[in-house]
């Protein structure tokens, strides 16, 4: 069965390259899937859910004093990420209507966001207009590790704007073992030195989906459903064209790609859709992009072009990955001697065809909004949600908050408290919030006893200002229930992992106050 599945995979992938050269090839794939009993029946979609209502205000501006009004501007709340193998019904006219199928020549990435969320306007200090398309713009990055090799790919220039550079602002350390030596736990970790740990530049991403504003103008927007006023409003659907899908910038120094804004850059024009669903009160942000040049040809109603490393004509995931393999093989023969070569060197042994299944890609997500006023010195965002989540108070990345984490926080206070000349049990983080600390669990700019037990959820399920016997009874009702916590149980999910379990029992014990 294993051999048969391998043969099927080979035929399936060859069919993508051959541009559906014959009906016999299609039939062979179908027969393979049936004979293998589903051994290669790759699911066309994988969905990753994020807890609803887990938004937190997480600043990154120096001094933590830029204006933002949560009453006027929605905090971005991620509900799910979906990756699909995709076959548009009409690749030329409408990429976004179609079928999730193992035979698709495209992939679809879809973010589901709570409420009405707008496309982002410019956040450049000199052209600052973040609310150009509505009051609640979304900004951020979805980083995609396609080869599941964390040693390849990443961001050399600005890792402080990515998941590994911001995750601990949400109150805990990253659990994924492949990121153990790569997470920035304090602001000084962004030292610009590729060779010193933590290796925050080395996220493992091959491509990223980016929403930072300024990538498109009014002429790039097609209002499929809308009133033409260029404000994204309830029930509207917009298709937007722009360079939203980039290959990892860490590769550019070593790439043969030509035709971008600078050598090595692979950031082709692509198609994005914003759709607000009134019945769900949710905004879907959807990217559809060719997996191979077969799909690129279908989109342009023309034959598939050869993979020519040119991001200005037909473009695809395969073209971007094939260049990595070619460039890395060249470096095997003529190395540059630069340590940053490590970010691409493993691609000499990778087959790009092995990484065209989006359901096998690993993703991280960092989302937020813009401040109301610009900072003339730089671009800063107000982050509000991440995926994967961290456990508040889990400073060692074990996946649970326990006595070890509390000891580590207490030790940090004991070692650093005397440094300011005042022994008051408080360690002030200088230059907060551009600087930060994993021990500052509640992200208020100081490390203190509050961080030993802080959680965004307070266990006050009846909202009467205390945690007493009534809340204890509710906790017992909620304990062990399958699925995501209900509105009643959500305050009891103190570790914010979408379940009420023994870890929450420990945290609940810290929060019992009795009647107040």
Instruction: Give pLDDT tens digits for 202-219.
Output: 999 999 999 998 889 999
Neighbours of 294 (CB within 10 A): 22
Determine the average pLDDT of the residues in 404-420: 93
> 514: left (phi > 0), else alpha (psi -120 to 50), else beta?
left
**Is 185 among the domain residues?**
no
**Is 168 among the domain residues?**
no
User: Do 202 and 182 contact (CB within 8 A), yes or no?
Assistant: yes
Q: Among 368-372, 477-481, 502-506, which range has the highest average pLDDT?
A: 368-372
Q: What domain count does the chain have?
A: 2
Determine the average pLDDT of the residues in 10-30: 37
Look up the pTM and report it: 0.87
**Is 147 among the domain residues?**
yes
Look at residues 387, 412, 430 and tell me which one is the last residue of a structural domain: 387
Instruction: State the pLDDT at residue 480.
Output: 86
**Is 31 among the domain residues?**
no
Look at residues 357, 387, 417 and tell me which one is the last residue of a structural domain: 387
**Is 27 among the domain residues?**
no
Instruction: State the pLDDT at residue 484.
Output: 66
Q: How many residues does the chain have?
A: 516
228/345 same-domain check = yes
Look at residues 387, 421, 450 and tell me which one is the last residue of a structural domain: 387
463/322 same-domain check = no
Contacts of 383 (CB under 8 A, 6+ apart): 58, 59, 60, 140, 166, 169, 170, 366, 367, 368
**Quick one: tokens of 220?**
């790039």
pLDDT at 467 over 90: no
CA distances from 24 to 7, 18, 19, 69 (A): 16, 12, 13, 60
305/423 same-domain check = no
262/342 same-domain check = yes
Distance CA 412, CA 426 (A): 10
220/337 same-domain check = yes
Determine the average pLDDT of the residues in 265-289: 97
Domain region containing 441 = 403-511
325/446 same-domain check = no
Name the least confident of 282-286, 407-411, 476-480: 476-480
Give the angle subtended at the CA of 111 by the CAs of 363 and 53, to the nearest 5°.
95
| Greatest CA separation for the chain | 80
360/469 same-domain check = no
pLDDT digits (tens, 9 = 90+) for 237-255: 999 999 999 999 999 999 9
375/411 same-domain check = no
408/330 same-domain check = no
469/361 same-domain check = no
**Is 9 among the domain residues?**
no
Q: By three-state DSSP, how is residue 348 classified?
A: helix
**Quick one: tokens of 324?**
């990595």
381/423 same-domain check = no
382/408 same-domain check = no
Instruction: State the pLDDT at residue 174.
Output: 97
Among 235, 252, 291, 248, which Cα is nearest to 116's?
235
């Amino acid at each position: 069965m294993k051999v048969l599945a391998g043969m099927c995979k080979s035929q399936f992938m060859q069919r993508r390259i051959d541009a559906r050269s014959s009906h016999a090839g299609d039939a062979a794939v179908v027969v393979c899937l049936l004979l293998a009993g589903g051994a290669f029946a790759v699911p066309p979609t994988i969905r990753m859910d994020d807890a609803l209502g887990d938004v937190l205000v997480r600043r990154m501006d120096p001094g933590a004093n830029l204006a933002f009004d949560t009453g006027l501007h929605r905090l971005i709340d991620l509900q799910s990420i979906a990756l699909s193998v995709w076959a548009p019904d009409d690749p030329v006219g409408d990429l976004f209507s179609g079928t999730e199928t193992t035979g698709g020549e495209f992939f679809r990435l879809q973010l589901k966001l709570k409420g009405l969320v707008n496309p982002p306007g410019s956040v450049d200090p000199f052209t600052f207009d973040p609310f150009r398309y509505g009051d609640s713009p979304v900004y951020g990055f979805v980083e995609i590790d396609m080869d599941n090799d964390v040693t390849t790919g990443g961001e050399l220039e600005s890792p402080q704007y990515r998941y590994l550079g911001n995750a601990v602002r949400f109150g805990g350390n990253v659990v994924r073992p492949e990121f153990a030596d790569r997470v920035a736990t304090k602001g000084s970790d962004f030292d610009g030195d590729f060779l010193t740990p933590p290796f925050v530049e080395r996220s493992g991403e091959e491509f990223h989906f980016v929403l930072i504003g300024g990538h498109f103008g009014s002429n790039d927007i097609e209002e499929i459903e809308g009133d033409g006023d260029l404000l994204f409003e309830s029930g509207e659907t917009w298709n937007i064209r722009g360079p939203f899908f980039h290959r990892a910038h860490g590769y550019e120094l070593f790439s043969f790609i030509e035709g971008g804004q600078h050598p090595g850059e692979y950031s082709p024009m692509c198609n994005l859709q914003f759709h607000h669903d009134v019945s769900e009160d949710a905004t879907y942000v959807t990217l559809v992009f060719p997996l191979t040049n077969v799909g690129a040809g279908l989109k342009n109603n023309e034959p598939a072009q050869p993979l020519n490393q040119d991001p200005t004509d037909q473009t695809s995931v395969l073209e971007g990955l094939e260049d990595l393999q070619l460039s890395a093989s060249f470096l095997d023969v003529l190395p540059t001697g630069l340590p940053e070569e490590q970010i691409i060197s493993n691609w000499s042994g990778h087959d790009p065809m092995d990484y065209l299944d989006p359901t096998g890609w690993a993703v991280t997500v960092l989302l937020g909004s813009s401040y109301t006023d610009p900072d003339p010195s730089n671009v800063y965002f107000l982050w509000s949600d991440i995926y994967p989540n961290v456990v508040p108070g889990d400073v060692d990345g074990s996946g649970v908050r326990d006595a070890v984490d509390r000891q580590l926080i207490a030790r940090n206070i004991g070692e650093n408290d005397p440094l300011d000349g005042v022994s008051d049990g408080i360690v002030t983080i200088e230059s907060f919030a551009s600087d930060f600390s994993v021990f500052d669990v509640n992200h208020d700019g100081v490390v203190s006893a509050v961080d030993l037990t802080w959680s965004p959820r307070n266990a006050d399920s009846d909202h009467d200002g205390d945690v007493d016997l009534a809340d204890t009874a509710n906790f017992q009702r909620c304990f062990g229930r399958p699925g995501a916590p209900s509105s009643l149980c959500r305050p009891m999910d103190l570790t914010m992992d979408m379940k009420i379990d023994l870890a929450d029992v420990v945290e609940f014990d810290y929060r019992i106050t009795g009647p107040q």
